[in-house]
Amino acid sequence: MRRDTTCFHSDMLGEQYTLTHHRSGLPIYVFPKKLTTSYALFAVNFGSVDNRLPSGEIMPDGVAHFLEHKLFSNADGSDSFERFSALGADANAYTSEVRTVYLFSCTDRFEESLAELLDFVTHPYFTPETVAKEQGIIAEEIRMCNDNPYNRCFYNMLAGLYAKHPVKTEICGSEDSIAAITPEILYEAYRTYYQLPNMALIVCGDVDVERVLSLADRHLPKKSLNYREPVRRVTDEEPRAVAPTTVTHGQVAKPIFCIGVKDTVLPASPEARIRLDAAMAILSEMLFSAAGDLYNGLYDRGLISPGLISEYVLTRDFGYLQIAGEADDPAAVLNEIRRYIEDKQKNGLDRADFERCRRIEYAEYIKGFDSTEEIANTLLSFAFEKASYFGYADVVQSLTFEEIQDLLSRFFRPEAFTLSVVEPWDEQNKECADG
C-alpha cells in the first residue's frame, strides 16, 4: 500500500475503503465491492451558488451548469458521451447548488472508461462557436424547466425562504444570464474551481486499488501547478423571516405545494453538520413519514393526495426543510402541519417512536452498501466534509431523544415557514397568459 494512502475499515459492516492523496493533489477514494456494476465519479466542490471570481467579479448565473455541459466536448471534435457509449459505459453528469459531478457505470472495460473520465474533465476546450451552440441547447433546457410546474413550485419556495442567497437562483441560470457567458468566463471559472485539491475521485466496484492509482498516475499531472485556494462563498446576511406565501398557475390537475422551513442555525464544523443532518433525518421520519399520525390524519380526511415528501438540505451557509405534495387546499395543509408541530413542541415527542425512527435511519444507512452507485454518491458527501463514511453509524447510534426534542423546539419557528403553491389554470388565467 502506498505511504500516502489511508485505509478506513468497519468491523461491523465488514467493509473498507482507501483514501489516497495523489501527488497531483487529488483525493482518490477506492471502495472495493464485488458487485456486477462498477461506478466512478469525478466531482468538483463547485456549484451554482459559487458565483465569484478571484477578482471579486460575480459571474453570470448558470456558469457551473454550463461548464458541466461543455466539458464533454473535446478539442479534436469528439464527444465524451459517445466515447463512453463505445466502451459500453453509461455516463452522465449533474450540477447542484454546491457541486458538479461527472460519472459513469459499467460492467466491463472499467479502466478504459476511468481513463476517459479523468481525461475529459481535466482538459477543457471552449471556443466562441461551441459556446454559442451550447447557449441554444441550454436555453431550450431553461424553457422546459420554466414550463415544469414542480420546478416552478420548488424555486418559488426558495425565493420565499431566501431574500439574498444565490441558492434561490435556478441552477441552469436564465436565458439572459447564459447569453453573457463567454469562453473567457468559462476558462476563468475552470481555473478557479477545477483545481485537483478542490475535487475528488471516487471509485466503487470490483476494482483493485493499485490499478486505479496507477491509472491516475498516467492521466493526471504529477503535481498541482499554481494551486490557489478556490474563492470562498461570500453571501449577504439573510433575514431570519421569510416571505409567507407565493401562488402561481401551471399545467397541473390539482394544486401542488412546497412548504419550506428555513434553518438559520448553521453549524460551523463538518462534524456538527453531519450530526444535525442525522438528527433531522430522524425527526422528519417521526413527523412526516407515511407511518406517522400526521400523514395518516391528513390523508384520511382527504386533505392530501398520497405521497407527502420531506427533505432536509444542509450546507455550510444555507439549510432548509422542504415538505411537498398535492392538495386541494395547500394552506389548510400548512395550518394542520403547524398545529401538529406546535402540539408536539408543547406535549413532547414519543420516546418509543424516536427509537423506531432511529432504527429506520440506521437500516437505510446499512442498505446503502448494497449498491455501488449509492456507496459512491454517499461517500462523496462525506469526502467533501472531510469526514469518515463509516462514522455515520456511530453518529446515529449516539443521538439522544433529548437532542431530537430540542431540535423540534428550535427549528420550527413560526416565522420560518413559507408556502409555494402552483394552482391549475382556469379560463380567466389562461386568457391572461395568452393575452
Grid coordinates belonging to 404 = 431530537
Q: What confidence category does residue 244 fall into, taking pLDDT thresholds of 50, 70 and 90?
A: very high
Q: What is the mean pLDDT of residues 176-190?
A: 96
Q: Is the pLDDT of residue 427 over 70?
A: no
Answer whether residue 15 shows pLDDT above 90. Answer: yes
Judged against a pLDDT cut of 50, whether residue 435 lies above it is answered with no
Compute the mean pLDDT over every residue in the chain, rounded to the nearest whole number.
94
Residue 212: phi and psi, rounded to 5, are -65, -45
Predicted local distance difference test score (pLDDT) of residue 299: 97
Q: Is the confidence at residue 11, as pLDDT, over 50?
A: yes
DSSP 354-384: HHHHHHHHHHHHHHGGG-HHHHHHHHHHHHH
- What pLDDT score was predicted for residue 319? 97
- Position with higher pLDDT, 430 vs 266: 266
* Mean pLDDT (whole number) for 8-18: 94
Least confident of 90-104, 269-283, 290-304, 419-433: 419-433
Tell me what pLDDT residue 429 has.
Answer: 59
pLDDT at 431 > cutoff 70: no
CATH numbers and ranges of domains, the chain: 5-219 (3.30.830.10), 245-434 (3.30.830.10)
Percent of the chain exceeding pLDDT 90 equals 89
pLDDT for position 274: 97
Q: What number is the average pLDDT over the span 136-157?
A: 96
Catalytic residue (one of 57, 68, 285, 311): 68
How far is it, in rounded angstroms, from Cα 30 to Cα 36?
16
310 — pLDDT class (breaks 50, 70, 90)? very high
Please give the pLDDT value at position 426: 78
Contact 332, 303 (CB under 8 A): yes
Residue 55's pLDDT band, with cuts at 50, 70 and 90, is confident
HSE-CB for 83 with a 13 A CA cutoff:
18
- Find the DSSP H helices in 37-170: 63-70, 80-86, 110-121, 128-147, 149-161
pLDDT in tens, 74-119: 999 999 999 999 999 999 999 999 999 999 999 999 999 999 999 9
pTM (predicted TM-score)? 0.93
What are the start-end ranges of the H helices in 180-245? 183-193, 209-219
Q: Quick one: pLDDT at residue 227?
A: 66
pLDDT band (50, 70, 90) for residue 430: low
Active site residue 68: yes
Read off the pLDDT band of 230 (50, 70, 90).
confident
Percent of the chain with pLDDT over 70: 96
| Higher per-residue pLDDT: 225 or 271 | 271
At 93 the pLDDT is 98
- Position 57 scores a pLDDT of 87
Sign of CA dihedral 22, 25, 26, 29: positive
**Predicted pLDDT at 120:** 97
Grid coordinates standing for 161?
425562504
The least confident of 72-86, 174-188, 212-226, 396-410 is 212-226
pLDDT in tens, 335-347: 999 999 999 999 9
pLDDT exceeds 90 at position 2:
no
Predicted confidence at residue 115, as pLDDT, reads: 98
pLDDT exceeds 90 at position 1: no
- Predicted confidence at residue 224, as pLDDT, reads 59
Tell me if residue 311 falls in helix, strand or coil.
Answer: strand
